[in-house]
Amino acid sequence: MTSEEQARIKQQMSEGHLSTDDVGRIAQRAGVKTVILSHLTWKADDDYSTWADQVKNHFSGPVLIASDLKEF
């Protein structure tokens, strides 16, 4: 990706999606049993475990990472 494309993605990500902290807080207040993170922004290393850990700072249940063809 060009630096311009990367900048647009970062802007859209910060303005158009919930933060991982928000996801954890909302899930905890709503009393959900499990959080599944989906519709994820591309990462070169394809490792979203840090995002799950950030959700777990506010949510005590399981946090799963969705991927293509995965079933829950």
pLDDT at 13: 73
pLDDT at 67: 83
- Mean pLDDT lowest for which of 1-5, 7-11, 22-26, 68-72? 68-72
Q: List, for residues 17-55, the tens digit of each pLDDT value.
A: 788 999 999 999 999 999 999 988 778 888 999 999 999
Please answer whether residues 1 and 9 qualify as being in contact, where contact means their C-beta atoms are separated by less than 8 angstroms: yes
Separation between Cα atoms, residue 30 and residue 28, nearest integer Å = 5
